[in-house]
Amino acid sequence: MTAPPAVETVDLCKSYGGVAVLDRLTMRVARGTVHALLGPNGAGKTTTVRILATLTAPDGGTARVDGHDVVREQRRVRRVISLAGQHAALDDGQTGRENLEMMARLAGRSRAGARRRAAELLERFDLVDAAGRRVATYSGGMRRRLDLAASLVGEPSVIFLDEPTTGLDPRSRQALWDVVGELAATGVSVLLTTQYLEEADRLADRVAVLHGGRLAAEGTAAELKHRYGAQRLQLTLRDAASFAAVDRGLGDRVTHRDPARRDLEVATDGSAPGIRDLLDEVDPDRRAVAAFTVRSATLDDVFLTLTGRPVTADREVAHV
């Protein structure tokens, strides 16, 4: 008998104050994979996670985790999941070891079992040397690692990571990426929401882009780049007048503009004839373009194509 997917939503709906945050969202997360949810703030990422974690009830549709309905079988869902949110849920007054032992005891382990599990996780997350220190003295990266360790005390089969690396420095982010990769390798299913496209590109087996509460696109990072990114021709113009003229001529075909650097980008098929045609179109006299570069699409390009705005455009908007 085929096992159910780790996560499945069908026509999931949720509104706040008459505003639809999720609009018939349907998606599936395969077992033992990392599935990334991308989207600007307000797209519905955190609301999706809260519904799947039984923290918020949907207005319509269905959602299942490990085969269990998140509304009718909340207790069963809670037994198989763990949630690591955007802010570490730790007791600053306790040591790292005490935090983990407390979580293990709450999860039903004996005192000796809690000590063993805490020791395992401290070793796994490279926190042995800091185990006896109060969490208030931890760096941001150490706190995130401890929070993730705490979320694994109960050995969940599905873990939700809601923007886990927000605010971390590059080294701490890299360390957390390594841990997420290890989790998936052991069979844990990971649903990751993130604002960092490099993170999704690096970690995710599949990527889902949410926009306006709907699934705008889904696939592997490579598939999405091929389908929505195309190639990019970057033009550097000789002066401000040339920049303005070429920008005006290309109109809405421009995918990125940087007036300070006098750079414009436009989608292209990457072929030599296509690039020649574009250069002849924008610079028939060969006086306006100082340099050009052809580059492959990134997830940033996919995001911009699907949502109509850069990934950083809404950083100050409240999460929903």
Q: Which helix (H) or strand (E) holds 55?
A: none
Domain ranges of the chain: 7-226, 231-296
Mean per-residue pLDDT of the chain:
86
* Lowest mean per-residue pLDDT among 55-64, 189-198, 304-313: 304-313
**What's residue 313's pLDDT?**
35
Count of CA atoms in the C-beta half-sphere (13 A) of 231: 12
Express as a percent the part of the chain with pLDDT over 90.
47
Which residue carries 């990422």 as its tokens?
45
* 116-133 average pLDDT score: 91
Look up residue 168 and give its amino acid: L
The correct answer on CATH 3.30.70.100 for the domain covering 231-296 is: yes
Rounded distance between C-alpha atoms, residue 152 and residue 238, angstroms:
56
| pLDDT exceeds cutoff 60 at 172 | yes
pTM beyond cutoff 0.85? no
From CA 215, how far away is CA 299, in angstroms rounded? 16
Task: Over range 295-307, report the average pLDDT.
Answer: 76
Q: What is the mean pLDDT of residues 288-312?
A: 75
3-state secondary structure of 175: helix
Q: Say whether pLDDT at 303 is over 80.
A: no
Residue 136 has pLDDT above 80, yes or no: yes
**Measured torsion, CA atoms of residues 42, 208, 162, 184, in degrees rounded to the nearest 10:** 180
193-227 pLDDT tens trace = 887 778 888 889 999 999 888 898 899 988 888 77
What percent of the chain has pLDDT above 70? 93
| pLDDT, average across residues 148-166 | 85
- pLDDT number for residue 315: 31
The per-residue pLDDT for range 212-266, each reduced to its tens digit, is 888 988 999 888 887 776 678 899 999 999 999 999 999 888 878 899 999 998 8
Phi-psi region of 212 (alpha: psi -120 to 50; beta: other; left: phi over 0): left
- Whether pLDDT at 1 is above 60: no
In this prediction, residue 158 carries a pLDDT of 94
Which pLDDT value is given to residue 68?
Answer: 96
Distance CA 55, CA 125 (A): 27
7-226: CATH superfamily: P-loop containing nucleotide triphosphate hydrolases (3.40.50.300)
In the chain the beta strands, taken as DSSP E runs, fall at: 7-16, 19-29, 34-38, 60-65, 68-69, 81-84, 158-162, 189-193, 206-211, 214-219, 231-237, 254-258, 263-268, 289-295
Output 315 or 128, whichever has higher pLDDT: 128
